[in-house]
Amino acid sequence: MRPVYLLRFTLVLTLLAISPVQAQIQRIASADTTAGNHFGAAVAYDGERLLLGASGEASCGENAGAAYIYERRADGRYTNAARLVASECAAERFFGHAVALSGDLALIAASRAFHGDTTPNPVLLFERQADGRWAETAQLLPGSPDAIIGFGVAVALDGEQALVGAEGDPESGRPGSVFVYERDGQGTWRQTARIGAPGRFGAGLVLEGNQLAVTAPPAREGRPDGAVFVYERDAAGTWQAKGRIDGFRDVRLAVAFDGDRMLVGRANAGPRQRGAAEIYAWQGERWVRTATLEPLTAYDFGAFGTAVALSGDRALVAGYTEQLSLPYNIDRVVYVFGSEGTSTWRQRTVIDIGSTAFGVALDLDGRTALIGEAGDEEPGAAYIVRLF
């Protein structure tokens, strides 16, 4: 196992328009200091455990990829418990580009730079063993050859059920899919369902308890045919449609769930692509927009809504800021919003470490945020921020 360096410090954040506020932050960085290792490009947080993808790491060849498990110690620090590499490791697999975590199970997907027509991307399950080791225990494959391209673009995991997105292609007419896998009584993972829809359905997915949201961005910027589909798992384990939100024109859609509320990030929305983030709630038989989150200062081409997270009375939205008179944004930050009732959300804090790659991936559980920083020019990192 490679050593992993862990730095813990206190970061002073700016509580805009009120006063400075402190938040505790841990920075996690891999011992692999290669620029572009994309450590932290995908993140998952499940209580006392973290899963971080490093899809650009040269684990067995250039861009072969890896993933890392971290566990929380009694003193609150997170330390590396395992480094996960695919058993069929190969260069240009980008293993770790999508990750999900549930208890003692980790689901990790690869993504080739050039998708082949005959071999799907590896989507692997790892499980924690009795002695604390993590072992690869299953490989998930699409049950239909038409879903090979795009398979593994997004993943989700909840106990004994794993979900894998296969993004559709409107140009070729190939529909998108979400494949559902369950572990049977003999310990074998089998495909039990396939949820499909036309367009780019399957580009992103998020699982919250018995609810599943699947994004289907438009094929081209500006076309009003993007949507977010919602499904609910019934008592028999069958996924039933629970409404959809239509009319999105954004080729980049991010989504987060918390109970019967959903946060949708639209990074290309608004005048001069400043971006937007919207809260929806399930009311009666449909999803109703109840709030729009906006930064106190909006920036042209700010991509506000690139990544989002939602938990209780806190929401995270990633976007760019501080153009400094340049024709492009150079600094990515994470905006923290707090709710004051069901429909009133206000910006509370901006988390800014001065990085263009900060906020590429987000997760949030209560007042604990997990934020990835992964770019092409520097080695990646992840930050655990405890918000007040």
Number of independent structural domains in the chain: 1
- Which residues have a Cβ under 8 Å from the Cβ of 149 and sit 6 or more positions away? 115, 116, 117, 166, 169, 174
Q: Considering only 63-72, 159-168, 180-189, 267-276, which range has the smallest mean pLDDT?
A: 267-276
Residue % of the chain over a pLDDT of 90? 62
Residue 47, domain member (yes or no): no
Residue 210, domain member (yes or no): yes
Q: Distance (Å, rounded) from C-alpha 227 to C-alpha 130? A: 43
Sign of the CA dihedral with 305 first, then 38, 213, and 144 last: positive
Q: What is the mean pLDDT of the chain?
A: 87
**Token representation of residue 215:** 């994004």
Q: DSSP code of 325?
A: T
* pLDDT over 80 at 1, yes or no: no
Higher pLDDT, 325 or 76: 76
Q: Which of 292, 384, 388, 386 has its CA nearest to residue 51? A: 384
Burial letters 335-355, b for 16+ CB under 10 A, else e: bbbebeeeeebebbbbbbbeb
**Token representation of residue 242:** 């629970």
Residue 299, domain member (yes or no): no
Sign of the CA dihedral with 185 first, then 105, 85, and 375 last: positive
pTM over 0.85: yes
**Token representation of residue 253:** 């859609």
Question: What confidence score (pLDDT) does residue 20 get?
Answer: 40
Question: What confidence score (pLDDT) does residue 323 get?
Answer: 54
* 146 three-state secondary structure: helix
Q: Which secondary-structure segment (H or E) carries 292?
A: strand 286-293
Can you tell me the mean pLDDT for 323-333? Answer: 65
SS (H, E, C) 192-228: EEEEEECCCCCCEEEEECCEEEEEECCCCCCCCCEEE
Where in the sequence is the domain holding 205, given as residue range(s)?
148-251
Question: What confidence score (pLDDT) does residue 261 get?
Answer: 94
Residue 19, domain member (yes or no): no
* pLDDT over 70 at 19, yes or no: no
Q: Considering only 113-122, 164-173, 198-207, 317-326, which range has the smallest mean pLDDT?
A: 113-122
Higher pLDDT, 316 or 159: 316
Residue 48, domain member (yes or no): no
Confidence at 190, pLDDT banded by 50, 70, 90: very high
Residue 206, domain member (yes or no): yes
Can you tell me the mean pLDDT for 10-28? Answer: 53
Confidence at 21, pLDDT banded by 50, 70, 90: very low
Sign of the CA dihedral with 7 first, then 362, 305, and 125 last: positive
Residue 120, domain member (yes or no): no
Q: Distance (Å, rounded) from C-alpha 147 to C-alpha 118? A: 10
- What are 342-374's pLDDT values in tens digits? 678 999 999 999 888 999 999 999 999 999 999
Residue 90, domain member (yes or no): no
Backbone angles phi, psi at 272, to 5 degrees: 55, 35
